[in-house]
Amino acid sequence: MSEYTKWVSMWGNAMSIAEHKAETYSKNITLRYPVYAPFDGSALRITFDNYCGTEAVTIDRVSLAVSAGDRDVEPDTVTDVTFGGQAAGLMPAGETLTSDEIPFAVKAGSFLTVSFYLRDYTLMRSATLVTGPLSKGFYSVGDVCSADTLPLNTTRSTNWFYFLNTIDVLTEKGNRALICYGDSITAQDWPDYLTLSLRDKGIRNISIIRRAASGTRILRQYECITYESYGLMGANRIPHELNAAGADAILIQQGINDIIHPVGTDVNPFRPMSDLPAIEELIAGMVFYINECRRKGLQVYLGTLLPIYGWRTYAPFREELKNEFNDWLRHTALSDGCIDFDAVVRDCDHPEAFAQGYDSGDHLHPSQAAYQAMGEAASQFLAGRFS
């Protein structure tokens, strides 16, 4: 009997809304994404997602391969992916598409590459912007799914992950997935550093499934093309984002955009001050999240919000709201624990601001060093629970 008996999501992204530009359609391109494999396994299945799309999308061809670094793959490992035995698959607007189970030898610590081809005009709306040491992508003109390397002159790099949502691996029953849910802070680097830190600690039975989208709020979303790429509100996201095979826990770090976005219609017609939540509303939004996660049988861990001093909409009333929310996150009995990211990155003498070297420069997003510190803090917190 095979030792690989359990399907577990080994990689995953949220699905959000790409910025609406004049050039929102693509044609005759291949997208290629190398992804980190945390587990050994014997088969894979890939889910594509058109959750935010308003038109059907056809994935014309998909291949899997062992990565040979960035744009390159090992040529003798290229394997066709099928959908109901067919090379192409159709995703209606708002729906997902999951491949057949593809026999494929997976080695923990390796990188696999997913390449897929879009032949006809395709609305490139369902996508997420993601960064980190394990997160990169490429697109190239033409059908080059099987190419050993993407052509230099017709290829560009991208951190936009279009349609590719989740990769499941048939693996050992002791392996599990942790969902990291949030906004741009989590869409950026710290979940990748968490993966690397867990690996360095010898904790090899956890995959990190990132369900994070920049600009997103717990309680609101924009209904205009100027800001629709800031993403869906929590009630429209969380039920969709909890779908990950083998997941038994979630780490939620969100809420800062609810606090910093509203500026008043005299400043911006799309960002009224009425969008600013009271602390009771913000807590109620997080309680909704927790209840949804419990219904899925998930352990729930929370993360505090980070410093915002110096951000362009900073004001004392926003600082006060953030601190009230953080106090609730730290002490609520509704969760299984809280990672105090704020304490990790703030200045000890001026706790409203980032510590020296931990500010990316915009006074909202952490620096690389701060993201590494966040990943390490999360790793230490989880190690005692998941080892």
Question: ∠ CA(238), CA(15), CA(159), 5° rounding?
Answer: 135
Q: Which pLDDT score is estimated for 385?
A: 81
Contact 113, 145 (CB under 8 A): no
Question: ∠ CA(357), CA(362), CA(365), 5° rounding?
Answer: 70
Strands 102-106 and 111-118: unpaired
Residues 237 and 333 in one domain: yes
Residues 83 and 191 in one domain: no
Question: Is pLDDT above 80 for 258?
Answer: yes
Question: What Rg, from alpha-carbon coordinates, does the chain have?
Answer: 21
3 state SS of 127: strand
CA gap 262, 81 in Å, rounded: 45
Q: Sorting pLDDT into bands at 50, 70 and 90, what band is 387?
A: low
Residues 52 and 134 in one domain: yes
Residues 130 and 51 in one domain: yes
Report field, pTM of the whole predicted structure over 0.85: yes
CATH number, position 275: 3.40.50.1110
Sign of CA dihedral 154, 156, 162, 167: positive
Q: How far is CA 231 from CA 235, 243, 364, in A?
A: 12, 18, 18
Q: How far is CA 193 from CA 10, 79, 186, 228, 372, in A?
A: 16, 30, 11, 29, 6
CA gap 305, 254 in Å, rounded: 7
Is 105 a domain residue? yes
Is 263 a domain residue? yes
pLDDT tens by residue, 119-146: 999 999 999 999 999 999 999 999 999 9
Is 1 a domain residue? no
DSSP conformational letter for 25? E
Tell which of 168, 184, 207 closes a domain: 168
pLDDT tens by residue, 260-318: 999 999 999 999 999 999 999 999 999 999 999 999 999 999 999 999 999 999 999 99
Tell which of 136, 168, 200 closes a domain: 168
Domain count, the chain: 2
Q: Which domain holds residue 316?
A: 175-386
Residues 294 and 371 in one domain: yes
The residue with tokens 């090992």 is 74
pLDDT tens by residue, 309-350: 999 999 999 999 999 999 999 999 999 999 999 999 999 999
Q: Sorting pLDDT into bands at 50, 70 and 90, what band is 1?
A: very low
Contact 27, 100 (CB under 8 A): no
| Nearest partner of 267 among 317, 312, 318, 224, judged by Cα | 312
